[in-house]
Structure 1
Amino acid sequence: MNQILTNTPTFDAPEPAGLHARRVAILSASWHEDIVAHAVAAARAELLRSWSTPPRVEHFQVPGAFEIPLHALQLAASGDYDAIIACGLVVNGGIYRHDFVAAAVINGLMQVQLQTAVPVFSAVLTPRDFHEHEEHQRFFREHFVKKGTEVARACVETLGSLAKLRHSASARHRAQSL
């Protein structure tokens, strides 16, 4: 099933430094939601903390990590988002396929950003070892908080550097026109 399952509230506000309001979509896989939700919450919190006026952040949940690239492509192609953050946990369930799923997801996300010029960030993680006991679950919940924060920081920094590149290119174009 490749439908967006949930859509959480948005936050609208202009971006600092006179640029347009930032719009960020966060996609998350519902598999291991109890762990992945920590990355989503940390990413949202870091995005809101990183700009003096908060961006609009929308959360979309999809069935699994494999569905994330298609949804990322649809969101990027819509023109409604400046960046997309993907969060998921792909684990070795005893059948050797997790590596293929993880590679497909990461390759798909890279293709989305190269095709659309909308930056796509990944907190889709594939641990070497994951077990369903409380100790591992606690470790990965904490780890996903860290990764959610890191992916949001990468998003903020990339949007800033891309804005500078666009500004520089625009200034060069205006200078050449004179």
Structure 2
Amino acid sequence: MTVLSHPSIRIAIVRARWHADIVDQCVDGFIAQWTSLGGNAADVEIFDVPGALEIPLHAQMLAKSGRYSAILGTAFIVDGGIYRHDFVAGTVLDGMMRVQLDTNVPVLSAVLTPHNFQECESLIAFFRDHFVIKGEEAANACAQILDARAKLTLINA
């Protein structure tokens, strides 16, 4: 039995609903890769939040529940002209980092912000494809961190 197929492994994915057609590709890529690594799709629970700024608080609540081995936050933050998207991305990532340091639950990020994004089909298609890759990378990172934590547990036992 691998660490990924252990019955106590539960993964939470917190996904922002802005640009859902793009963000959902990350979730699909994560689950496909997770299962190919030996994990179970049923162990991945998805939580929706309105936007990226809501991810850290939701991740904190999930981490404090004690139900999840790791949490993935995913969002697509673009310059909407109201406030700086780089500020939003930095705030979200800082919050996610604080959650994992405060709760000892790994919080992975697939929160991406492009330098330039326009609502045109070629860029939308590019980022849809890119988010599949980011989901796969997040699943790989999740498996690696859970494996590393399992080894630490054995060393500290």
Relative to the length of structure 2, the TM-score reads 0.94
Q: Tell me which amino acid in the other structure corresponds to 1:32.
A: H
- Report how far residue 92 of structure 1 moved: 0.8
Q: CA RMSD in A?
A: 1.5
- Report how far residue 66 of structure 1 moved: 0.4
Q: For residue 18 of structure 2, what is the aligned residue in structure 1?
A: 31
Larger Rg computed on CA atoms: 1
Query: Is residue 16 of structure 1 aligned with residue 2 of structure 2?
Result: yes
Report 1 or 2 for greater relative contact order, CA contacts < 8 Å, sequence distance ≥ 6. Answer: 2
- Report how far residue 22 of structure 1 moved: 1.0
Q: How does 1:44-63 map to 2 (within 5 A)?
A: 44-51=31-38, 54=40, 56-63=43-50
Q: How does 1:54-73 map to 2 (within 5 A)?
A: 54=40, 56-73=43-60
Among all aligned residue pairs of Structure 1 and Structure 2, give the percentage whose two residues are the same amino acid: 50
Question: Which whole-Å deviations, capped at 9, do the CAs of 1:13-55 have from their partners, x for residues lacking one?
Answer: xx6369553100011000000100000111111112212x526
Unaligned runs of 5+ in 2: none
**Correspondent of 2:112 among 125, 141, 152:** 125
- Report how far residue 130 of structure 1 moved: 0.7
Question: Which whole-Å deviations, capped at 9, do the CAs of 1:132-172 have from their partners, x for residues lacking one?
Answer: 000000000000000010011000000001110111111xx
Unaligned runs of 5+ in 1: 1-14, 171-178
2:144 and 2:48 map into 1 onto residues whose CA distance is: 25
* Segments ≥4 residues shifted beyond 2 Å: 15-21
2:49 and 2:123 map into 1 onto residues whose CA distance is: 24
